[in-house]
Amino acid sequence: MGNRAYVIFKEKKEFSPAIYLHWNGSRDSVEPLLKQARELMSGRSNDLSYVSARFTGICHNFFDGNLSLGIENSFNTLEKNKKSFQPGDNGCYIVDIQQSDWLVKQYNEDYNSAQLKVKLVDKFEV
């Protein structure tokens, strides 16, 4: 139960740890958090380790208590990220920070004939 999602930052072929959001994984919540991180990281917006750390800090300040936010190891290829990191609900946001405007792709599960397929459900810039 929840409104779950993973947020994973990508720069070239490198990936951040997966940031797990339990209650605020919809685009309505994730997009403003990403915009805040993008503004904060102005001038260093493509520094993978700092961007993912600052985004996690923004989420930490947003959520009360000791629940609803986690960090998990992620794999080092986009294909493995899309297929393995599916917390349910809102799926996985892959945030490409290589350009000055971050490109965000949201992937989710699509169950069809008992086969799991991963599909792109949304794409936006922050």
Tens of pLDDT, residue by residue over 1-32, are 789 999 999 999 899 999 999 999 999 999 99
**DSSP E strands, 12-51:** 14-15, 18-21
Position 61, amino acid: N
The three-state secondary structure class of 28 is helix
Average pLDDT of 56-70? Answer: 95
Name the band, by pLDDT with cuts 50, 70 and 90, for residue 39: very high
- Residues 48 and 112: their CA atoms lie apart, in Å, by 35
CA nearest neighbour of 121 among 84, 86, 72: 86
Position 25, amino acid: G
Task: Read off the pTM.
Answer: 0.85
